[in-house]
Amino acid sequence: MKKILYIITLILFIACEEKEKPSVIISSDLERPISCMKLNKIGGDKELLESLEKLYDFNQSCIFTLTLSSKKDIVCNSTNNVMSKNMGKFPKSFVKLELRKGMKVEYSYYVDLYSNVDEDDIKEGFDRLKKDLLIK
């Protein structure tokens, strides 16, 4: 009986720590590694943009533009999502990093989060971008 109780408790803790995997899209004709990026500061959360600026030396004359999009405290009142919301699987925020060359999207990183987006989530996303685009 103790073993069953232990296993159930372990399963509950593991299920609570589940983390969503990011969706990454890389243009097939993008030559890697890229040499520079500039940061689009329009419309983003100031605190999150500041944490992103600490991670990389952005060059405002570069042809590649990185845009950070995020949303906190997502609330959906749609009746279509009642089951997801009741089961605790409805995201509370998201992070999206998008690299463009002109109007063409060359790279996209997107992840739903079950807590509000913070500096660690931005760092995790940018680390993935660096691994995919900046490092040989």
Token digits for 132?
Answer: 């995919």
The number of residues making up the chain comes to 136
List for the chain the helix, strand, coil content (%; round to 5): 35, 25, 40
Alpha-carbon gap, residue 8 to 11, rounded angstroms: 5
Report the greatest alpha carbon distance in the chain: 66
Judge whether 52 and 88 are in contact, CB under 8 Å: no
pTM of the model: 0.77
Residue 81 confidence (pLDDT): 55
Name every residue whose Cβ is closer than 8 Å to that of residue 64 and which is 6 or more positions away in sequence.
34, 36, 37, 38, 99, 100, 101, 106
Count Cβ atoms below 10 Å from residue 105 Cβ, excluding itself: 15
Judge whether 135 and 33 are in contact, CB under 8 Å.
Answer: yes
CA distances from 95 to 66, 127, 134 (A): 13, 13, 20
Per-residue model confidence as pLDDT tens for the chain (136 residues): 655 555 555 455 544 445 689 999 999 999 999 999 999 999 888 999 999 999 999 999 999 999 999 987 666 665 555 555 555 567 889 999 999 999 999 999 999 998 999 999 999 999 999 999 998 7
Positive or negative, the CA dihedral 37, 42, 43, 45 is positive
The domain ranges of the chain are: 21-134
